[in-house]
Amino acid sequence: MEHVALSLIFWYGILHAFGADHLTAIADFSIGKNKRKTILITSMFAVGHGISLFIFAKILETYKISDEILAYGDVISASVILGMGIYLLWLVFTNRINLSKHIHDGKEHIHIYFGKEHSHTNKDVSSAFAIGTLMGIGGVRGMLVTLGLVESASVDFTMVLAFTLGVMIVFLAFGAFILYINKNLLNSQQNIKRIFTVAGLVSLVVGTNFLLA
């Protein structure tokens, strides 16, 4: 029965990761980033998601919380996506997304940076972990339902690892798609504005749809 539970949790993680809100968040954080940053962002988002789900699932095992209160987890996730969409559009319309080209060893390199100066930081990686943790609240109900199907009343760390692995597989695959966009389309200031505008508008639509659902 334990293997069945882990298998179901793993597949639930895969299905859960295909949620429009999760993929939108991954896209918002990964657009314009290099390969290393994209892998880190997608991985940390998945890890934060799993840790958050584990903590809140443990809380729900101890305390009886109504579905009305749990529904606020979805509201939080939707609000995060909506806020990210507004932020991306603000970056576009205030011309804070910039392109820098230079040549190393005879090859042209393109760097996209936000703000007036080009700097290297890991704030977006830590932010992805924080957002993934925050949005994990929305997945608690679904995971507990899955556990109910296998007649298990306890959430252990092994189950969370199975869930996180399922989520991470999808996120990394989607990150590879974003890397393709970064490499082949984000090669001019005009394209950057177009793609970031699309990402911002999609975030607004997805966030608003989840809030109104």
pLDDT digits (tens, 9 = 90+) for 53-82: 777 777 766 766 666 666 676 777 788 889
The pLDDT assigned to 202 comes to: 92
Q: Is 34 helix (H, G, I), strand (E, B) or coil?
A: coil
Half-sphere exposure of residue 101: CA atoms within 13 angstroms, side-chain side: 8
Supply the DSSP string of 37-103, one letter for each residue: HHHHHHHHHHHHHHHHHHHHHHHHHHS---HHHHTHHHHHHHHHHHHHHHHHHHHHHTT-EEEEEEE
Give 162-178 pLDDT, tens digit per residue.
888 888 899 889 988 98
3 or 46: which leads in pLDDT: 46
Q: Which of 172, 159, 142, 168 is nearest to 9 (CA)?
A: 159
Phi, psi of 187 (to 5 degrees): -115, 10
Q: Is 107 helix (H, G, I), strand (E, B) or coil?
A: strand
What is the distance between the alpha carbons of residues 87 and 96, in angstroms, rounded to a whole number? 11
When pLDDT is cut at 50, 70 and 90, the band that residue 149 belongs to is very low
The pTM of this model reads 0.75
What is the distance between the alpha carbons of residues 75 and 213, in angstroms, rounded to a whole number? 10
- Residue 160 tokens read as 């969370």
